[in-house]
């Protein structure tokens, strides 16, 4: 999949500029396609589909770093922004962290642009391909999934946004926000129409393509959000449970035996991965290339240990963003150290790793403290996406821009926990919900068979005095720490508030109800002649 993607990068650029074609109509194109005579073969349809996949992997857009993982962690109580000692490294991310962002924050525009570039490209596929075949039906099903996903990603950042099922002409730019119901109904329809046409499995040559299980899992996740935001709607929780049950009953996924293996070097597209964003190291990308041609996962570089001693046996230094908080570290129960240590790297671990192989090599300076953002520094770094020294580029590209570490969007453990939540909060039964939670907890205790040696969720509730829902919230935070779901979980469940940031006077003072969402960029508002609003009005949630 990634080889094919690299080969058609010129097409990606062509498709991204088609909306400006009018000014070129009198030019006789040489070695290029016009929109009017494209989309006439299966090969052209596939190339257009790959262009629709492409924004998934953008970790840079418009010259700014954009990552739902970073946003979902830094915005929450899980992580601080970090960066260099100035406390102003990547100002937009500092603003997201401190709730001081506005409609003028550059990253707000480019997160939006990434989502709607994906929607635009999916609509090109769905609006323009008139030929019919089983292959084309599969391509259109994938495009509908992508369109639903990009709308969902936009919703999670901005609240109810603009629903688009067609390519806009310049006369159509004055769009206003659609309601929450319109957003979710549109996503659900796209996914329900795509599921029957998608393959249950993918072959080695189609790794990274959307499968039936991915669409079912995303459908369940969307229903879960909708139920939560619609006054805990039991019927919608039941719909979510139905979708997750279809994933489980499909039998295509299982938990890896070792939690730590999920994040080991080279672990991509494992049996636990339901939906995973692909990244490649084959592009000769460098810092002079257009930003959308960066195929690698630069998020890994952004969130690596800043100014790490070069003698570390496994990791290279990074730029020090997304620093885990003490609150996150302390939230892990004492017997949950295996998951904690897989998610969080401490300065003590760094010292131990180096001294074990190169005693005295760093002269006691394992991390250069003078280069850290001390306003955010905690002594911890995320370890789920480390910068392995083994990363390389075979085509003379910049390794920083071409790290081939895929990014989990939905994995099977997430499905099991969402399934348990939907059963508990819908009209299902708690006993079945506890079964799925215990599957996740058993694996969390470490590799091998831990039957009888880990605390079941029933024991956990008894020992900690928790309700089942509180146990589910704990499991989601512990299992998915550092993977980007935390803030979105807090918002959908009504738990995003200033109390999360006790001990951080800036964040707790700045937080307001509007901060559940980020504002749409002023430039986008201006394009619509002020029809868009920075924040969603409460009436849109009715």
CB-CB contact of 402 with 393 (8 Å)? yes
- Residue 99 domain-assigned (yes or no): yes
- Residue 26 or 380, more confident: 380
Do residue 182 and residue 249 come from a single domain?
yes
- Residue 292 domain-assigned (yes or no): no
Whether the predicted model's global pTM rises above the 0.75 cut: yes
Q: Which residues, in sequence order, are CB contacts of 246 under 8 Å at separation 6+?
A: 216
- Residue 200 domain-assigned (yes or no): yes
- Residue 3 or 493, more confident: 493
Instruction: Please state, for a pLDDT cut of 90, what percent of the chain lies above it.
Output: 85
Do residue 348 and residue 236 come from a single domain?
no
Do residue 421 and residue 497 come from a single domain?
yes
* pLDDT number for residue 514: 96
Do residue 250 and residue 110 come from a single domain?
yes
Structure tokens at 278: 């692909």
CB-CB contact of 482 with 328 (8 Å)? no
User: From CA 317, how far away is CA 200, in angstroms rounded?
Assistant: 40
CB-CB contact of 277 with 334 (8 Å)? no
Per-chain mean pLDDT for the chain: 92
Q: Which of 351, 384, 417 is a domain's end point? A: 384
* pLDDT number for residue 407: 97
- Residue 324 domain-assigned (yes or no): yes
CB atoms within 10 A of CB 279: 25
- Residue 85 domain-assigned (yes or no): yes
Do residue 30 and residue 175 come from a single domain?
yes
Q: Which residue has the tokens 């005095």?
A: 465
User: From CA 32, how far away is CA 215, in angstroms rounded?
Assistant: 34
* pLDDT number for residue 31: 43
User: From CA 182, how far away is CA 283, in angstroms rounded?
Assistant: 39
| Residue 503 reports pLDDT greater than 80 | yes
* pLDDT number for residue 6: 34
- Residue 260 domain-assigned (yes or no): yes
Do residue 267 and residue 345 come from a single domain?
no
- Residue 285 domain-assigned (yes or no): no
How many domains in the chain? 2
pLDDT per residue as tens digits for the range 456-477: 999 999 999 999 999 999 999 9
CB-CB contact of 183 with 161 (8 Å)? yes
- The number of helix segments (H) and strand segments (E) in the chain equals 21, 8
pLDDT per residue as tens digits for the range 324-351: 999 999 999 999 999 999 999 999 999 9
- Residue 141 domain-assigned (yes or no): yes
How confident is residue 396, by pLDDT bands cut at 50, 70 and 90?
A: confident
How confident is residue 7, by pLDDT bands cut at 50, 70 and 90?
A: very low
Do residue 32 and residue 132 come from a single domain?
yes
Domain range holding 276? 2-280+408-541
CB-CB contact of 93 with 518 (8 Å)? no
Do residue 474 and residue 355 come from a single domain?
no
User: From CA 323, how far away is CA 98, in angstroms rounded?
Assistant: 14
Residue 230 CA to its chain's centroid (Å):
23
Q: Which residue has the tokens 């993977």?
A: 483
User: From CA 232, how far away is CA 4, in angstroms rounded?
Assistant: 44
CB atoms within 10 A of CB 146: 25
The enclosing domain of 31 has a CATH number of: 1.25.40.390
pLDDT per residue as tens digits for the range 22-47: 322 233 444 456 677 789 999 999 99
User: From CA 134, how far away is CA 22, in angstroms rounded?
Assistant: 33
pLDDT per residue as tens digits for the range 350-364: 999 999 999 999 999
Backbone φ and ψ for 271, nearest 5 degrees, come out as -65, -15
Do residue 83 and residue 206 come from a single domain?
yes
Q: What is the DSSP letter of 408?
A: E
Do residue 123 and residue 183 come from a single domain?
yes
Do residue 144 and residue 225 come from a single domain?
yes
Do residue 201 and residue 338 come from a single domain?
no
**Mean pLDDT of the 45-60 span:** 95
How confident is residue 17, by pLDDT bands cut at 50, 70 and 90?
A: very low
Structure tokens at 197: 């046409």
Q: Which of 369, 384, 399 is a domain's end point? A: 384
CB-CB contact of 306 with 371 (8 Å)? yes
Query: ∠ CA 258-260-264 to the nearest 5 degrees?
Result: 115
């Amino acid at each position: 999949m990634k080889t094919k993607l690299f080969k058609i990068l010129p097409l990606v650029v062509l498709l991204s500029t088609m909306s400006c074609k009018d000014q070129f109509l009198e030019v006789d194109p040489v070695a290029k396609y016009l929109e009017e005579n494209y989309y006439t073969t299966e090969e052209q349809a596939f190339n257009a589909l790959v262009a629709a996949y492409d924004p998934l992997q953008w970790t840079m857009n418009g010259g700014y770093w954009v990552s739902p993982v970073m946003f979902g962690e830094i915005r929450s109580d899980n992580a601080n922004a970090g960066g260099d000692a100035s406390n102003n490294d990547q100002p937009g991310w500092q603003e997201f962290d401190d709730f001081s962002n506005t409609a003028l924050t550059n990253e707000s525009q480019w997160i939006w642009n990434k989502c709607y570039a994906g929607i635009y490209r999916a609509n090109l596929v769905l609006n323009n391909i008139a030929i019919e075949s089983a292959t084309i039906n599969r391509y259109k099903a994938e495009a509908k999934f992508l369109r639903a996903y990009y709308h969902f990603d936009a919703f999670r950042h901005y609240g109810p946004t603009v629903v688009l099922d067609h390519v806009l002409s310049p006369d159509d730019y004055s769009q206003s926000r659609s309601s929450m119901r319109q957003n979710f109904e549109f996503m659900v329809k796209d996914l329900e129409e795509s599921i029957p046409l998608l393959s249950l499995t993918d072959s080695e040559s189609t790794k990274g393509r959307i499968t039936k299980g991915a669409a079912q899992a995303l459908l369940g996740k969307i229903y879960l959000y909708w139920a939560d935001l619609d006054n805990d709607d039991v019927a919608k929780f039941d719909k979510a449970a139905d979708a997750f049950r279809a994933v489980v009953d499909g039998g295509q996924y299982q938990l890896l035996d070792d939690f730590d293996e999920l994040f080991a070097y080279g672990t991509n597209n494992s049996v636990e991965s339901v939906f995973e964003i692909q990244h490649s190291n084959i592009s000769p990308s460098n810092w002079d290339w257009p930003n959308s041609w960066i195929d690698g996962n630069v998020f890994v570089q952004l969130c690596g240990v800043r100014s790490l001693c070069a003698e570390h046996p496994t990791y290279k230094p990074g730029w020090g963003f997304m620093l885990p908080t003490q609150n996150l570290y302390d939230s892990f129960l004492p017997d949950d150290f295996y998951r904690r240590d897989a998610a969080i790297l401490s300065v003590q671990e760094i010292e131990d790793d180096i001294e074990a192989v190169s005693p005295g090599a760093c002269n006691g300076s394992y991390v250069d403290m003078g280069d850290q953002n001390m306003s955010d520094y905690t002594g911890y770094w995320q370890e789920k996406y480390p910068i392995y020294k083994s990363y390389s580029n075979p085509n003379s590209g910049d390794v920083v821009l071409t790290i081939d570490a895929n990014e989990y969007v939905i994995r099977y453990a997430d499905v099991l926990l969402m399934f348990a939540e939907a059963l508990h909060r819908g009209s299902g039964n708690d006993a079945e919900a506890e079964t799925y939670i215990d599957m996740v907890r058993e694996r969390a205790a470490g590799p091998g068979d831990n039957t009888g040696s880990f605390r079941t969720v029933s024991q956990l509730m008894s020992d900690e005095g928790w309700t089942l829902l509180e146990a589910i919230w704990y499991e989601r935070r512990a299992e998915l720490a550092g993977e980007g779901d935390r803030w979105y979980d807090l918002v959908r469940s009504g738990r995003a508030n200033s109390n999360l940031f006790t001990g951080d006077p800036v964040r707790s003072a700045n937080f307001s109800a509007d901060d559940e969402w980020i504002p749409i960029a002023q430039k986008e508002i201006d394009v619509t002649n002020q029809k868009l609003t920075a924040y969603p009005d409460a009436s849109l949630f009715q």
